[in-house]
Amino acid sequence: MSTIPNHVLVQAKSRDFRPSVRIGKAGLSETVLEEIRQQLQSRDLVKIKVNKGLFEREQRREVWNYLAENTDSVLVLQRGNIGVLWRR
């Protein structure tokens, strides 16, 4: 895993940094993955929100890891139904 710079962690934890991708009841799809990839090309961080009740706690961990692996990014923060990915 990459060493994550402090300024990236600070920005990821900021409440002013709003989610730019939402995973709804349709769940994970290639469309969602493509949207995350496109956003990571234009910005360093992407904040993702998963609708409550869509995944159990253990499943959410798997979802964040899956998204990081399939978008060539690093999971910076995972808190409840919010995750932040950082472009490598």
| CA atoms 59, 76, 9, 50: torsion sign | negative
**Residue 28 belongs to what domain range?**
6-87
C-alpha–C-alpha distance, residues 57 and 3, integer Å: 26
Is residue 1 in a domain?
no
pLDDT tens-digit profile of 27-79? 999 999 999 999 999 999 999 999 998 999 889 999 999 999 999 999 999 99
pLDDT tier at 3, thresholds 50, 70, 90: confident
Strands (E), the chain: 21-23, 45-50, 73-79, 82-87
- Does 68 map to a domain? yes
What order of strands is seen across the sheet that includes strand 45-50? 21-23, 45-50, 82-87, 73-79
Give pLDDT, residue 2: 58
CATH code, domain carrying 42: 3.30.110.60
Domains of the chain: total: 1
